Amino acid sequence: MTHNVLVVDDEPKLCDLLASALGQNDIVVFTAGNGLHALKVLEAEDIDLVISDWRMPGMDGPQLLAEIKNRFPQLPVIVMTAYSTVKNAVQSMRNGAFDYIAKPFDIDELDITVSKALQFRDILKDNQRMRAELDEHQQIDSLVGDSPSFRRVLSAIDSVRESNATILLTGESGTGKEMVARAIHKHGNRADKPFVAVNCAAIPEGLLESEMFGHRKGAFTGAVADRVGRFQQADKGTLFLDEIGEMPLALQAKILRALQERIIEPVGDPRERKVDVRVIAATNKNLLDAVANKEFREDLYYRLNVFPIPLPALRERVEDIAPLARHFAHTLGAAAGKRFSGFSAEALQAMARYSWPGNIRELQNCVERATIVASGAEIEEQDLPAYLFASQPTEPGALVAEGSVPADLEAALAEVEKAYILAALAQSNGVQAAAAQLIGISERSFWYRLKKLGIHVDKIVR
């Protein structure tokens, strides 16, 4: 492997000597007579190592070292000096030099020092490459798909990622709203700051204010110590408010103030605190309907809906099912110590025919089960869960195609929702938490639907 080394010295003969000595070891040597010239070479060439004199006119070795560490922090520098003292050596190492050599130097000693520095550089480059591959893998993990509807999502992400605008992600449960939120944060201007996610439906109403804004010790029974809330945890970063539609009305006013004024007030503490947080909210509810029903504040809705991004259901991006399934099979199979070449045509057709009420989350669960039971290199139709082949509730599109448009849309949709919930309960043997996970909604949302639809679990448990 060839490396590029820059030698910086105001003595041309020494530069020629080093070029001759190092050029025999698959090393291309560049030379510079002073620090300013060296910086120009570094800007123009891909240099792996700098060997610099300590004392030079104009910009000396310590000054050049400081500039290199500032502009090229991972570039190793070897300092050489005829004034080899412990003080100079220690100072150069403290300032970031990889090593130092003393003039006059031994060629073998020079070769060993240069070899170690280049090995160090190679390790850093490998780490950078692996991090880049990991970043690419993580990006693919969260953003798989090339359908027109999903390309619109990717375009929206690209448009808003560098801004600080509040974003509202909408879509059915399991469509990947948190993945999109993380992608926006990761590829935006707050990527090196915290990403804090809060599921508003998973926290009891009495604790939600403390969870969001923190509290002082003794503010209420059980507050045995001060607590920093999620807004402060996400300061300078991104706060992801999942299932924002489930947030109690009483707390919505305080969330609105935090968004408008960037000020929070911990429970039991009258002192206000400023926060700099980029908020991304998500919901599977129709918030305009919630506003009309006085379940959600209209002013908060418009504060959240600055940049809306609707996420398509998986049944609306059927062409993405196969690449998503292959991706899940690859990653989940690797975690289980298995390697899969893909899916059979019959298996892909079965997955394409299914309506995926739980969307991407349900697809991932399906593929995970298939990777466990599959015995061959290819996942077959029989490896897929049986519920993919059971009769499904009629899709609205099919009703229209048959000319059977319902006279009462709300009632028809309620029947479809009820059929899915009953099927999930039957498959989970009446375990509500498992049924909620199966169709990709929270337990709280599941209980709400049971009550709304008049479903009594004790009547269907076998």
pLDDT the model gives residue 230: 92
Instruction: Produce one character per residue of 56-72: b if its CB has 16 or more CB atoms within 10 Å, e if not.
Output: beebbbbebbebbeeee
Q: Are 153 and 311 in contact (CB under 8 A)?
A: yes
What pLDDT, on a 0 to 100 scale, did the predictor assign at position 124? 80
Token pair of 23 as six digits: 């050029």
Residue 404: predicted pLDDT? 52
Looking at residue 457, what is its pLDDT? 67
Mean pLDDT of the residues in the chain? 84
The segment with the largest mean pLDDT, out of 198-202, 204-208, 295-299, 383-387, is 295-299
* Number of separate helices (H) and strands (E) present in the chain: 19, 16
Put simply, whether the predicted model's pTM sits higher than 0.85 gets the answer no
pLDDT at 393 over 70: no
Query: Is the confidence at residue 399, as pLDDT, over 50?
Result: no
Q: Quick check: 396 pLDDT over 60?
A: no
**Which band of pLDDT confidence, cut at 50, 70 and 90, is reported for residue 462?**
very low
pLDDT of residue 141: 47
Q: Is the pLDDT at 461 greater than 70, yes or no?
A: no
Of the candidates 344, 352, 392, the one whose C-alpha atom is nearest the C-alpha of residue 370 is 344
Residue 155, CA distances (Å) to 33, 295, 415, 449 in order: 49, 32, 36, 34
C-alpha–C-alpha distance, residues 422 and 446, integer Å: 11
Give yes or no for residue 157 having a pLDDT over 90.
yes
* Span 116-141, average pLDDT: 66
Query: What's the whole-number mean pLDDT along residues 212-226?
Result: 79
User: Picking from 175-184, 221-230, 389-398, which range would have the lowest pLDDT averaged per residue?
Assistant: 389-398
For residue 104, say if its preceding peptide bond is cis, omega within 30 degrees of 0: yes
**Which one has a higher pLDDT value, 311 or 85?**
311
User: Shortest CA distance to 393 belongs to which of 362, 414, 407?
Assistant: 414
**What is the average per-residue pLDDT within 277-291?**
95
Does residue 54 carry a pLDDT above 70? yes
More confident residue, 455 or 310: 310
- What pLDDT band is residue 406 in, cutting at 50, 70 and 90? low
Domains of the chain: 3-128 (3.40.50.2300), 144-312 (3.40.50.300), 315-392 (1.10.8.60), 399-462 (1.10.10)
Give the residue, 186 or 400, on which the prediction is more confident.
Answer: 186
Own/partner contacts of 89-98, CB < 8 Å, gap of 24 or more, are 91/62, 92/54, 92/61, 92/62, 92/65, 95/62, 95/65, 95/66, 95/69, 96/65, 96/69, 97/65
Q: Are 232 and 274 in contact (CB under 8 A)?
A: no
Q: Which residues neighbour 68 within 8 Å (Cβ) at sequence distance 6 or greater? A: 42, 50, 75, 77
Per-residue pLDDT of 326-341, as tens digits, reads: 999 988 888 778 889 8
pLDDT at residue 306 above 90? yes
Percent of residues, the chain, with pLDDT higher than 70:
88
DSSP string, 85-133: -HHHHHHHHHTT-SEEEESS--HHHHHHHHHHHHHHHHHHHHHHHHHHH
Q: Is 390 left (phi over 0), alpha (psi -120 to 50) or beta?
A: beta
- In this prediction, residue 1 has a pLDDT band, given cuts at 50, 70 and 90, of low
Average pLDDT over every residue of 48-67: 88
